[in-house]
Chain A
Amino acid sequence: MSEPIQRAIDRAVRRSFPMATAAVASLAGLVTVPVADYSQIAPAFTLIAIYCWSVWRPDLLPLAGVFLIGLFEDLLRGLPLGLTALMLLTAAGFVQSQRAFVFGRPITVFWLVFGLLTIVWMAVEWMAMSILLGQILSPEAAAFRYVATFGLLPVGAAVLFLVQRSGMQNV
């Protein structure tokens, strides 16, 4: 294989990291962790990945890809088809349009904006599921899930930052 082709493949693989890590984050949410009530409070890993890449590399996170990841998650989790897709699409679109406010700012700003986004996310998800299931659901699990997701952002962002620094230089 000639060098330019190898280089092109290498570049394409590196450019696919944001989408690939978002897909892996989506799978990570399905992992069976032997901890009491884990599935009810499992952090929204996909939201963390989508938020980070929307701020850092929106050019490598096409909204169509975000939509497909949302559909994939709905299919696997048994959630109403299209719900996560719509919510991820809205979240990514919003963050990408407002990224100038977050990009290059201190981690506290990055984290706080994510906190606000997650509050809206959890509230919308809770309302949508209450409407779709036809009754007002207990917001308790959503609140715990919010805390878990918000608390995990620095860890998730650190992992994705390492991915970016080690594998996505100059792509």
Chain B
Amino acid sequence: MFRKRRQKPRGRGRPIRQGSLLGDLRVWMRRFAVAIMVLLAGALIAVDRFETPAIREFRAGVSDFFAPLVATVSAPFHAAADWFDAFESNATVRERNAELEREIERLRLSLHDLAAVDEENRRLRALVNAGARIKGRHLTAAVFADTGGPYVRSLLVGAGAADGLRRGMAVINADGFIGRIVEVGRHTSRVLLVTDLNSRIPVRLAASGLTALLAGTNGRRMQLNYVPPNVSISVGALIVTSGHGAVLPPGLPVGRVDSVGRDAILVRPLVNWNRLTFVRIVDYRTPGLVQDSPDDPRQQEAGRRTDTP
């Protein structure tokens, strides 16, 4: 099927006369170049382990440059998905409509309760002199590329240092916590997803207030670590960010306990990863507690322009 018309195999480059000095030299030069590239790759792998600011910045620059191209290539796939969605049957649409109306009614009722709870919370915080809750500034960004794979869970989003983004900021959507910004370019940033193996998030159980560390597994579920022994945790319990370390805002919903085993407590994220087209980035800082990363002057400059209410 894929047989070429010209059956004569083509070699690499110009033909080399066997035995000639020039030919031998070219063969050795080629081998030498390959050896250099292999050594260079090995050195880069070793250097990359140290996560130097220069490499981070270089990565961010490359992402900045190619992100619009990736977004353009992705566009037809999203258009196709929207097209398939439009083919939902009348019955399905009616059913979804009824479901959404029920949801709106439920949320309206919750809103009344929420106002009362908010007022009560404000009074109690004033009573214990806790000060006002820091809400942070929000910024919406488009997801440019799913840069992950089987071994890395990350996204490329269309906002960067020019928009005031810094490393460590929380990324959320309507469902809950998605991940943290780990690399900031001028106009794009890389988000390390909460499910990535390198992700560690201080969390608490919303109901009991029990704190723990949520670790990504590169799988669909995350693992709850450092849970004190003999503590009862029920399946379905809501996990939220604890705010410890003053890097992530407290109270962001992250997931629900999926299984409680002898060896591990597994948590399923709340976010639906399949239709992640826009995310919100939370600029949360407790003044005086968190310092800007000293490795990127652009981030510092942008950070000075960001006001945290």
Give which listed residue, A32, A58, A70, A81, contacts B12 with CB less than 8 A. Answer: A58
Q: Decide yes or no whether B275 CB sits under 8 A from chain A.
A: yes
For B190, the closest partner residue in chain A by CB is A78
Give which listed residue, A34, A78, A126, contacts B81 with CB less than 8 A. Answer: A34
Find chain A residues with CB under 8 A from B146 CB: 30-33, 38-39
Q: Identify which of A36, A42, A76, A161 gathers the most chain B CB atoms within 10 Å of its CB.
A: A76
Please give the distance in Å from B157's CB to the nearest CB on chain A: 11
Find chain B residues with CB under 8 A from A90 CB: 38
Find chain B residues with CB under 8 A from A75 CB: 58-59, 62-63
Give which listed residue, A35, A62, A104, contacts B274 with CB less than 8 A. Answer: A35
Find chain A residues with CB under 8 A from B198 CB: 133
B145 touches A81 (CB 8 A): no
Find chain A residues with CB under 8 A from B73 CB: 27-28, 30-31
Per-residue CB contact flags for chain B residues 42-80 toward chain A (1 = under 8 Å, else 0) read 111101110000010011001100100110011001100
Give which listed residue, B10, B38, B145, B274, contacts A86 with CB less than 8 A. Answer: B38
For A30, the closest partner residue in chain B by CB is B145
Please give the distance in Å from A49's CB to the nearest CB on chain B: 14
Find chain A residues with CB under 8 A from B274 CB: 34-36, 38
With an 8 Å Cβ cutoff, the count of chain B residues facing the other chain is: 61
Q: Decide yes or no whether A145 CB sits under 8 A from chain B.
A: yes
**Known contacts A31-B73, A40-B150, A161-B2: A76-B66 contact under CB 8 Å:** yes
Please give the distance in Å from B284's CB to the nearest CB on chain A: 23
Q: Decide yes or no whether A85 CB sits under 8 A from chain B.
A: yes
**Known contacts A40-B149, A107-B2, A133-B151: A82-B58 contact under CB 8 Å:** no
Find chain A residues with CB under 8 A from B81 CB: 34
For A160, the closest partner residue in chain B by CB is B2
Per-residue CB contact flags for chain A residues 126-139 toward chain B (1 = under 8 Å, else 0) read 10010011010110
**Known contacts A40-B150, A78-B59, A85-B44: A58-B10 contact under CB 8 Å:** yes
Please give the distance in Å from A79's CB to the nearest CB on chain B: 6
A78 touches B183 (CB 8 A): yes
Question: What bracket does the count of chain A residues touching chain B fall in?
Answer: 35 or more
**Known contacts A67-B37, A67-B41: A142-B150 contact under CB 8 Å:** yes
Instruction: Give the residues from 51 to 97 in chain A that come closer than 8 angstroms, CB to CB, to chain B.
Output: 56-59, 62-64, 67, 70-72, 75-83, 85-86, 89-90, 93, 96
Find chain B residues with CB under 8 A from A100 CB: 9
B66 touches A96 (CB 8 A): no
A83 touches B38 (CB 8 A): no
Please give the distance in Å from B255's CB to the nearest CB on chain A: 17
Find chain A residues with CB under 8 A from B273 CB: 36-37
Q: Decide yes or no whether B237 CB sits under 8 A from chain A.
A: no
Q: Decide yes or no whether B7 CB sits under 8 A from chain A.
A: yes
Complex CA–CA separation, A91 to B198 (angstroms): 29
Complex CA–CA separation, A90 to B35 (angstroms): 11
B2 touches A110 (CB 8 A): yes
A32 touches B78 (CB 8 A): yes
Please give the distance in Å from A85's CB to the nearest CB on chain B: 5
Complex CA–CA separation, A56 to B62 (angstroms): 30
Please give the distance in Å from B207's CB to the nearest CB on chain A: 30
Find chain B residues with CB under 8 A from A133 CB: 151, 197-198
Find chain B residues with CB under 8 A from A78 CB: 59, 147-148, 152, 154, 183, 190
Find chain B residues with CB under 8 A from A71 CB: 44
Complex CA–CA separation, A29 to B47 (angstroms): 25
Which 9 A-B pairs give the minimum distances between C-beta atoms?
A82-B44, A141-B150, A86-B41, A81-B48, A82-B41, A34-B81, A129-B151, A30-B145, A82-B45
Listed by A's residue number, 8 A-B pairs whose Cβ atoms lie within 8 Å are A39-B146, A39-B148, A77-B149, A80-B49, A81-B47, A83-B41, A85-B44, A104-B7
